[in-house]
Structure formats: C-alpha cells, structure tokens
C-alpha cells in the first residue's frame, strides 16, 4: 500500500480517537455527593417553599432531575453499602433487623470480599478520594483506605454516636446547639486527626478538601465520593449560614450544603472538566421526622427515614454532565443508587465481575437514548423484605412505622398502591388488581430463592 495512503489512514484514526475524547467518550471523572437524612421535599427544585438551594436548582436545570430515585436502604449503613457495591445490603451482611446500623462499638464492617466503586475505578487508573461520613466500619481494617480510596478525610460514623458525659440525656441533646456535647473523631486515612472536631466547620472543611482534590487530580481521571455529615442530627452550620434561612436551623444546614455543591461544580468548571465529569447528587435515606423541625420534609410522600414507605427511601436524585446529559430533563423512570456501580463501570470501561449486581446500567436514561429493563425494586428494612415496586405499582408485604414500639404488620393479601396516582400511598387497590399482585409476588419469590445468606456485620460489639 502507498506510504501516503497509510499515513492518511493513521492520521484519520488519530483524529477519530481525539474527537471521541473531546465528546467525553474517554474515561470520565466521577463525583458522587451524598447528603445524610435529606428528605425528598427539602430542595427548591423538589418543591420546598422556604429552603433556598440555588446551586442544586441550577444543577437540576443544567442536568437531569429524577422524580423516582431510590436509596437501597432505609437508614445509613445499608444505604451506603449498597451505593458503593451495587448490591442489596442483604448480600453483604450490612443490615440487621434490630441494630439497623453500625455503632461506635461495632466490630464489623464492609467485608473485604465486596468490590467497591473505588476499587473498580482505581484498577482502571483513577485517583480515588473519599471525604465525609463513612459508616461502613470504623476499625482500621474497615476504613476507606482498605476499600480502594487513595485519600480519606471524614467521620467514621454518624455525628451523634459519641455524646460526651456532659450531654443531656435523651432527645434534649439533639436539639441543643452545643458542639461540646459531641466527640465523634475526624479521621485522616486511618488515624485520628482530631478527637473532637468542631462540627460547625465540617461542611466547609469537606468542601475545601473536595475542591482541592479536584484541582490536584484534574489531569487524570478521578473518583470523588463526598458524603456530607448533615443534615443528620445534631445540626450545625457555620457562622456564615447560621440564622440565615427562613426554615430555621435545618434550613441553614441545607443551604450550606447547597453552597458546598456550588463550590464543587464551580471548581469542575474552572478546571475545564465539565465536558468529562459526571456528578450525581442524592441522599442516603429520607428525613428523620421524629426530630420535628430538625428533621426535614418528605414532601408528598408517606413517612420518613427508617421506614419502607416512600418517604423513607425515595430521595432526591440529580445528575449533571454538560454536553452528555440533556439539560432541564425531568426523568420519571425509576433510578436507583444501586445503578451507579454498573453505570460507572460501563462509562469507565471497567469489566464487571461475576458477583451478583442488583442495579442496571442507567446510562440510556441519563443520556436520553432509551429506557432500561430492570427487576422490581425491593424495599428492605434490615434483613427483611417489606415491599416491592414493579413499574408504577408497589406492594407492601409488611408495614411498620419508622421508629417506635409498634410491631410489624403482615399483609395477606399485600397492600397495593399505584405510585403514579397515589405517591402518598393512601389508597389500597389490591382488591381490583390481583394479577399485578401475583406478578410482583412471583418476582419476590424468585429473588428469595436465589438469595445466599451471609452473616450480618452489625451484631458484635467491642467492649460491652
């Protein structure tokens, strides 16, 4: 073949590769921002009348807002395990009917056999950073550096788990704006950086570290998992935000989180990374309604954190990637935090292991190229399956309030709600939809038949 023809073919291939990278088809940066106990109705773009969230509203306007986005857990530990592994927490032992979450004296943690998003991406040449609340095991062998993260700064568990001896007993300590009542440590890697950090500064410190991480890693693909401590009680805001919101202290805290998201997105823009960075924002579960005005809003949904009613597990979900995700799109199909693992794997060109995954690649939804086929979504409370959603239909096999002394109520036949007509789950229509119920029950039985039991990680404790 003529030398010049060969050269032209080579130049054409190089141009095509360069064009693909320009279009964002090279390995993208991934940023997942996770709020703690933020409710479905707590943001302006989700209808809150008085909490101001201009940065998240802009993120939604420039990207995609999901109306039906779900966490796979009703409380902290299981939801975070599911996000990082793409698997229901029942498969990893990161759930329990009584303990529900890991405690400050727990010995367990995310099993090393579980492959996390960070491990998946680090094997593909990504720099990986985790900033904020971990809650997947606080002993050194369970911390983020042991699960694929090159950098970690944050709290090992919830900010309420180590009250001091001086703190009031009972609920009073959660309503007192006193940092001295709490001593959850701030970790850097696996060592204690501060034994008793000022929680009023946490959102700003996390934000500064996130911006620094983006700036320092802009020349190589990176994965940043920014898991904010708030608005989990006790609530704290910095001086710049304290007392500013018409929605009180809870509003102050959420508005500071919104500022944080704005800082992160601004750094992505300043670094020229907008065209090759996927940013996902969500919450680990619904609002902790038992804390009244310190607990947020589930909007039109029923119940909140701790329950398998919609308000406990349907959460805000916003996706942003200028040039790839159509701007201003409202996505009404179901999306799950479980979907992030297979979606990111596809985008990064990472092979998936033979481990069972419970999410699907949702890039057709994100990019407006089609729909996805998924199994019904299963609502677990601890290690017990309470409900399932298939299309717009949701069946409750068991129901129970989020917190309190009431016992589980078993439903035979199950309760059935059409979430399109009735997102507040008020009108049971099981009597006229026996075929739908039978279809949902068949899928649930298939799931149970294929489930391999694993020991829970949430039982054993250190000390007493």
The predicted pLDDT at position 20 comes to: 36
Q: What is the pLDDT of residues 386-428, one digit of tens each?
A: 999 999 999 999 999 999 889 999 999 999 999 999 999 999 9
Task: Name residues whose C-beta falls within 8 Å of residue 18's C-beta, 6 or more positions apart in sequence.
Answer: none
Mean pLDDT of the chain: 93
Q: What is the pLDDT of residues 182-204, one digit of tens each?
A: 999 999 999 999 999 999 999 99
Find the helix packing angle between 54-62 and 248-270, rounded to 10°: 50
CA torsion, ordered 152, 157, 160, 162, to nearest 10 deg: -90
Show the tokens assigned to 147.
Answer: 């699960």
Q: How far is the C-alpha of 356 from the C-alpha of 87, rounded, in Å?
A: 7
Show the tokens assigned to 19.
Answer: 């064009």
Res 298 pLDDT > 90: yes
Q: What is the pLDDT of residues 126-156, one digit of tens each?
A: 999 999 999 999 999 999 999 999 999 999 9
Show the tokens assigned to 377.
Answer: 């979504």
354 — pLDDT class (breaks 50, 70, 90): confident
Mean pLDDT of 42-46: 98
The predicted pLDDT at position 21 comes to: 36
Longest Cα–Cα distance in the chain: 86
Mean pLDDT of 210-223: 96
Q: What is the pLDDT of residues 238-289, one digit of tens each?
A: 999 999 999 999 999 999 999 999 999 999 999 999 999 999 999 999 999 9
CA distances from 256 to 21, 55, 128, 228 (A): 35, 10, 25, 11
What are the backbone dihedrals phi and psi of residue 266, each rounded to the nearest 5 degrees, phi first? -60, -40
> Residues of CATH 3.30.1120.10 domain(s) within the chain?
377-450
Q: How far is the C-alpha of 253 from the C-alpha of 196, rounded, in Å?
A: 20
Separation of CA 165 from chain center = 32
The predicted pLDDT at position 355 comes to: 85
**Class of 27-367 in CATH:** alpha beta
Task: Name residues whose C-beta falls within 8 Å of residue 168's C-beta, 6 or more positions apart in sequence.
Answer: 176, 181
Res 374 pLDDT > 70: yes
- Cα three-residue angle 267-22-148, rounded to 5 degrees: 55
Res 212 pLDDT > 50: yes
pTM of the model: 0.94
19 — pLDDT class (breaks 50, 70, 90): very low
Q: How far is the C-alpha of 139 from the C-alpha of 239, rounded, in Å?
A: 33
> Residues of CATH 3.40.720.10 domain(s) within the chain?
27-367
Enter the CATH code of domain 377-450: 3.30.1120.10
Res 236 pLDDT > 70: yes
Separation of CA 308 from chain center = 16
Q: How far apart are the first and last CA of the chain?
A: 79
The predicted pLDDT at position 16 comes to: 36
Res 4 pLDDT > 60: no
Mean pLDDT of 428-457: 95
Mean pLDDT of 289-293: 96
461 — pLDDT class (breaks 50, 70, 90): low
b/e code 261-282 from CB counts within 10 Å (16+ = b): bbbbbebbeebebbebbbbbbb
Enzyme catalytic residues: 76, 135
Res 10 pLDDT > 70: no
Q: How far is the C-alpha of 319 from the C-alpha of 313, rounded, in Å?
A: 18
């Amino acid at each position: 073949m003529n030398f010049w023809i060969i050269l032209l073919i080579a130049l054409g291939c190089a141009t095509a590769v360069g064009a693909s990278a320009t279009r964002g088809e090279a390995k993208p940066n991934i940023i997942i921002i996770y709020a703690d106990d933020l409710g479905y109705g707590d943001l302006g773009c989700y209808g809150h009348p008085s909490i101001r969230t201009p940065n998240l509203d802009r993120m939604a306007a420039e990207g995609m807002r999901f109306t039906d986005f779900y966490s796979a857990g009703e409380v902290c530990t299981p939801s975070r395990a599911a996000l990082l592994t793409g698997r229901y927490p029942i498969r990893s032992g990161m759930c329990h009917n009584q303990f529900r979450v890991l405690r400050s004296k727990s010995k367990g943690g995310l099993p090393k056999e579980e492959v996390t998003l960070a491990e998946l991406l680090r094997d593909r040449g990504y720099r990986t950073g985790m900033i904020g609340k971990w809650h997947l095991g606080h002993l050194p062998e369970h911390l983020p550096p042991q699960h694929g993260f090159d950098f970690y700064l944050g709290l090992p568990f919830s900010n309420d788990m180590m009250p001091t001896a001086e703190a009031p007993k009972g609920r009073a300590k959660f309503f007192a704006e006193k940092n001295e009542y709490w001593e959850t440590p701030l970790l850097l890697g696996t060592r204690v950086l501060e034994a008793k950090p000022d929680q009023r500064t946490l959102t700003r410190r996390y934000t500064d570290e996130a911006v620094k991480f983006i700036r320092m890693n802009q020349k190589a693909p990176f994965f940043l998992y920014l898991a904010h401590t708030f608005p989990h009680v006790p609530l704290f805001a910095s001086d710049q935000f304290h007392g500013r919101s018409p929605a009180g202290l809870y509003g102050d805290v959420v508005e500071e989180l919104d500022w944080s998201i704005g800082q992160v997105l601004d750094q992505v823009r300043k670094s020229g990374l907008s065209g090759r960075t996927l940013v996902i924002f969500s919450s680990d579960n619904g609002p902790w309604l038992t804390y009244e005005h310190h607990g947020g809003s589930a909007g039109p949904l029923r119940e909140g954190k701790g329950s398998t009613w919609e308000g406990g597990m349907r959460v805000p979900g916003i996706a942003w990637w200028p040039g790839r995700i159509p701007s201003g799109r409202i996505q009404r199909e179901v999306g799950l935090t479980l979907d992030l693992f297979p979606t990111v794997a596809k985008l990064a060109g990472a092979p998936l292991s033979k481990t069972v995954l419970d999410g699907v690649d949702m890039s057709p939804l994100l990019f407006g190229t089609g729909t996805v086929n998924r199994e019904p979504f299963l609502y677990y409370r601890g290690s017990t399956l309470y409900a399932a959603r298939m299309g717009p239909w949701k069946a409750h096999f068991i129901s129970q309030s989020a917190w309190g002394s009431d016992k589980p109520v078993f439903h035979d036949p199950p309760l059935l709600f059409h979430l399109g007509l009735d997102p507040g789950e008020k009108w049971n229509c099981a009597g006229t939809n026996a075929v739908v119920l039978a279809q949902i029950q068949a899928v649930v039985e298939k799931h149970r038949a294929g489930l391999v039991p694993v020991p829970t990680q949430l039982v054993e404790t250190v000390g007493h």
